Amino acid sequence: MDEVQEKSLHPTLAKQAAPVQTSSTLAELEPDVQLAVKCASEKKAVDVVVLDLREIASFTEFFVIATGSNRRQIQAIADDINEKLKKQNRSKPIRIEGYNSAEWVLLDYGDFIVHLFDKDARELYDLTRLWSDAGRINLPVEIAALTK
């Protein structure tokens, strides 16, 4: 019988495995994902991470995860991503959730999902740890340097 590995959602009980690195870089991804990351970076989002879910999920290919410092900034990041993707790439989100409260804004573009968090929600939901089996896309130094 196959062994089943139990995963804990409690941060202190879960083993902190090193994130899986992929050979992909941001420049190798589709233009929509690149533009979403660029918009978040330009609006001063911090701790920007792109997770490659292609090997482990069927509902989307990538998560773009970023943190804003307050409600207004998170909404500005969401607005910029939405407007530029619509204008430059003719891409519209399938749905947007959490915009009004802006603790966790989700922009679902089908092939990728943008998660914009405030600091507390990012720590609470910890998607990076929850999806630790996913690969990480190597980001350019100027974006990767904007971390916690």
19 is written with which tokens?
């994130």
Q: Which domains does the chain have, with CATH numbers?
A: 20-144 (3.30.460.10)
pLDDT at 65 over 60: yes
Q: For strand 112-117 and strand 62-67, is the pairing parallel, antiparallel, or unpaired? A: parallel
Query: Could you tell me which residues come within 8 angstroms of residue 32 by beta carbon, excluding any fewer than 6 positions away?
Result: 85, 89, 91, 109, 111, 112
* Percentage of the chain modeled with pLDDT above 70: 80
104 is written with which tokens?
């966790």
- Mean residue pLDDT of the chain comes to 86
Backbone angles phi, psi at 9, to 5 degrees: -90, -10
pTM (predicted TM-score): 0.81
